[in-house]
Chains A and B, each alone.
Chain A
Amino acid sequence: MELTALVFLPAAAAILVLLLPARQEHLAKYVALAGSVAALALSLWLFFSFDVDQGGYQFTERREWVDLGAFNLQYFLGVDGLSMPLVVLTTFLTTASVLVSFSVTHRQRLYYALLLVLATSVLGVFTALDFMLFFLFWELELFPMYLLISIWGSGRKEYSATKFVLYTIAGSAFMLVGILTLAFSASTFDIQVLGQSSFQDTVLPLSWVFLFLFIGFAVKLPMVPVHTWLPDAHSDAPTAVSVMLAGVLLKMGGYGIIRMCVTILPGEAGDLSAWMAGAGAVSVLYGAFVTLRQTDVKRLIAYSSVSHMGLVLLGVAALGNTGMVGATYQMVAHGLITGLLFVCVGLMYERTHTREIARLGGLARQMPLIATGLVFAAFGSLGLPALAGFIAEVMVFIGSFEEFEWAALMAISGAVLSAGYMLWMLQRVVFGPVRPEWNGLTDQRHWWEHSVVLMLAALIILLGLYPPLLTDVINPAIDSIVLRVGA
């Protein structure tokens, strides 16, 4: 019951928000905050009662759902060491997103309701253990995202929202073919069972199935060359949506690759691992090089995400436990760090109404607190030790170096490039002479602004200083996956 409660808690809060009378619209944010904090509390309770000595799924609940004759759709939820951190990340960033949205004034009820539905769909993706249920949650996420970007966004928001949806659906179409092929072969959608099956007499060759699933997830990750929806979606989305997008939605891709591609089809993953490593390393470098050309702060962060999510793919590709633990750690770390980057940039944008790097400058004097947050997040992003991203990156490098030295060496060059674009951005945006046109702007000053920056920063430091908090949870789950890959 715990997981059902967790997954649908945000949705229930969404209904409450929608039921608010128009006169009480200003209460929407508090209801949303209460809902997201409750979900966060519940997920933390699950996290700390999670048994780290056990590798399998916990808190499982299973109900027959739709009888299809030969086999059934199930309502089947559960978490293991791979999904547990991502679940907490989701509730955590949902709370952060609600907080940064406190300045939203346009159609608040619908806004918060959509944000909460988004949280429910992502939580569903991370907890579903029935492949069709997974797919439903996967598709459900598109609906709130489309509306959030196209109503509360800026710039070419309709174009970006449509592009986001079409890109994902194109990927999902392949994924669905893959899912059905597997399900008809094994007569089940049960991910746990699929993860122990060997498939015979499939309609399509298994390597095709692997690729089809992989395409669906790679679009989400995103992997070069199917990444071009990301910069558009990010730059035109409102701050909270950028936080959710970079923070948790991209992780659905990485999660899917580990949970489905690698676990269900380990043999095919082994055959294609060098290609995955290459694609990961290319994403890291390509993303970083293109980031260096960006002149819009949000696009810059978006492209840096392409680069950093390439590390997830690289870590997985080695199919060893160090690399995959690193990849999982990287998903959490990137979610927090990039989330904080978007929060700080959002706070700046609210005040200056520009994201053009050339027009910004000297903000460290006018907005010292926001500037400090941005500097902190930028160093997190470039992999500074004692912050979460470092542990993740080094584990990915170590893991991939053992299998693919060339790919790991390519990827570590990304460390110089990330220092290049992040420090260049800082130099232009927060340092340098004060610009008179930004005089008189307020610094970060509301309690919700302080709390969102502090909670993200605190967790980034905590995960940088005390990795066992996550690695102890992740290790057993990854070990059991790697065991299957090796067999």
Chain B
Amino acid sequence: MIGTSLPRPDATGKVTGAARYPGDLIEPGMLHLKVVFAHRPHARIVRLDTTAAVAYPGVVAVLTAADVPHNAYGLVEPDQPVLCGEVVRFVGDRVALVVATSREAAEVAAGLVEVAYEDLPVLADAALALTPDAPLIHPERGTNLIYHCPIRKGDAEAALATADLVLEGEFSTAWQEHAFLQPEAGIAYVDEDDRVIIHTAGQWLHEDRRQIAEVLGLPEAQVVIRYAAIGGAFGGREDLSVQHLLALAAWKLRQPVAIVWSRGESVMAHHKRHPVTIRCRWGAMRDGRIVAVSATAIGDGGAYASTSQEVIKCVALFLTGCYEVPNIHVDAYAVYTNNLPAGAFRGFGAPQAQFASEVMVTRLAHALGMDPLELRRINLYREGSLEPTQQPLPAGVSVRTCLDTCLTTLATLPALPPPAAPHLKRAWGFACGIKNLGYSFGFPEQATATVELHGAATIAQAIVRIGAADVGQGTHLILRQIAAEALNVTLETVQLIAEDSAEAPNAGSASASRLTMMAGRAVHDAALGALREWQNEERPARITVQYRAPATTPLDAVTTAGRPNYAYGYAAQAVEVEVDIITGQIRIVRIISVHDVGRAINRQQVEGQIEGALAQALGYTLMEHFQMREGRVATPGLSTYLIPTILDTPPEIISVILELADPEGPYGARGMAELPLIPFAPAVADAIYNATGVWLSDLPFTPERVLRALCP
């Protein structure tokens, strides 16, 4: 059961079209919603006239800010209006919500909502956000600073002053769009028990419920979130998008309502990965010891806070990568601008920070005349290493093993024939990666599961209740496998109830690579608990278990010390690239991706996560150039924002799965789904350097940027 490659029960339906995604739930007779977006980056609403829209045939209502009981929401802090009444702060701000008997009527009427704006100065550059004359995005705060995360360890300036070698670096990364296959959609209605039911796609049932209950001013028990089949998420469904709009309309009108966003609406209206600029100085001694890092990072948080505060903490923590550095002076800032809000995206700040740290480590080695892999071995985290926050790392530090395995795997590969033409330069590049698993910095980390065993002499049915979202990563099969193993029953015996906030307890979000560890552990513990009840002749045997991870802490305000995380995942990659030095085009030839997953509950799914994340990493590194001009989206569709297809992915991806058991995870499993995204960009940068002798420091490495670096 554990460690096999059981096929996904949902796979066939997803391929044949039988799976019901949120957009498939729409039935005749439902009302249709259309959002009136601001389409301007910063403006005061002078006048809002819905008369013509309301008069349009088929229109049932036009909702505005005045209709929202509590007009503020957000994952971390409620700074985002459901519907804007006074000011719009980015192009995707929602100004009104048209409800009509048909989608067409709603669309036409949305165009009839008259909004007069007075444009305000636009802040489009995060680097200017904290300057004195920058326009304030939320004037009541008195600053555009969302969050500042300092980390201090030892004395970085003194150590840099006495280091044998100091290198400076500057890096920038771009927005990344989640581009999940299924744009936002869903339905909502009020049921016979006067509960508002929101049936959509998301990443955390109970958090969606909390926020919507707050917006509507209802007790949480009166709000029910259900998830249909979810067509990808990657962090992009952590923030509310259409869920609260559906809830508002259904609750106000007491009629079933539906919405489907177009790709253009999806791209404009949901948050992105943070663009981050990083300036840093790294100091090392001649023997290869890294002695100090001083770094500043600025993340563009866009118009609303979303999870910026948490992302920027991860940026700060990972600006020194997976290396034990005795002296650290780091300042990471998330700032407001009039750009699209930035928030969660697979990797959550780690890819940006470690693009810089991995490249700096390699550059240090070159400058010292050392093998970059040898320099890594000297400085890599090991058991007991002190984190930047001055605490020992949680047990299970396997990055060195990942790197060594990567090299032994590489040694087994045949060399390819030389490139077909002299202008094609081919080389391997290397990088390591680290990512926290689960919630950080004192955020309460728990997952709760209920297991019910039915039958007489033997267990005929095991019902597992756990509100854990299967966003496509296969969590539901994993949880059933864990329950079946713990109970020693067949997979078919285990029935999972996971997609209804009223029927399943809170497992936390599908994020931070945490569900296999956290939800898996809760199911494991509950299954064993229920089995004990069963052995005590309880029929049905039923138990609810809350698993709480080892505690983490916020960082001390003065010393910045603390225990930020209870677990980390580690990875190492080797990437072979071919650079066309005349056009700047880059082809990824082969990838070795090594991951310590503790225990592969389902091997095929682990490989699927590695390969899928690598495709996303490839897009992030080479193709996905999200562009904004003065707060407006210049790449609103997939014809202008390029995501990889199968033609862009290399034919050979070698996934190496290490199973060094984690002390906390179920059967030793630890999270892994974000890790492949982290070493990839710096590994490609290293390969480009090895092939051509130039470093690229701005993601993505488009052909044009590569050529400019080659022929400055």
Is B one of A's binding partners? no
